[in-house]
Structure 1
Amino acid sequence: MIFRNSGVPRRSWSETLKVYLETATLRMLFLGFSAGLPLMLVLGTLSFWLREAGIDRSTIGYLSWVGLAYAFKWMWAPLVDRLPIPLLTKWLGRRRSWLLLSQAAIMAGLIGMAFNDPHTGLEPIVWCALMVAFGSATQDIALDAFRIESADTDRQAALAASYQTGYRLAMIWAGAGVLWIAARAEVASAIGYQQGAWKVAYLVMAASMLVGVITVLFSAEPVRRILPPAKNMAAWLDDVVIGPFRDFIVRYRWQAALILALIAIYRISDVVMGIMANPFYVDMGYTKDEVAAVTKVFGIVMTLAGAFIGGALSMRFGMMRILALGAVMSSASNLLFVWLSGHGHDVQALVLVISADNLAGGIASAAFIAYLSSLTNISYSATQYALFSSIMLLLPKFLAGYSGAYVDAFGYASFFTGTALLGIPVIVLLWFAARIVPPQKQPEQSGDTA
Structure 2
Amino acid sequence: MMAPNQSKDDPRLTGPVRRYLAAQSLDPLWAAVRSRLERNGLVPAGTVSVNLDDEGADAVGGLLGASVPTGNVRIKLESVDAALRRSAAARGLISVCVELTGPLIDRQSVRRERTKSRASVLAALEAGVEAAGLSAQPWVSALVESVRRTGLLTRSGDSAAQTVAVASRALALLSTNLISDVLPEPTWEIAQLASQCAGDAHGLDDGTAASLLVLRAAALATGTPMPSTGPGRRELWLRIGVSADTVSGTLIAWGLRPPGDGPWAKMMRQRAEAGLVSHVTMQEWKVSAGQERWGVPGQQVWACENPQVLQAAITSGARGPLLCFSGNPASIGLTVLDRLVQEGVDVLYHGDFDVAGLAIATRLYARGARPWRMSAHEYVQAAPRLPSAPPLAGKVPDVAWAPGLADAMNKLNRALHEEAMLAVLLGDLQ
Higher relative contact order structure (alpha carbons within 8 Å, sequence separation ≥ 6): 1
Q: Give the TM-score of the pair, scaled to structure 1.
A: 0.22
Compare the two structures and name the one with the higher strand fraction: 2
Structure with higher Rg: it is 2
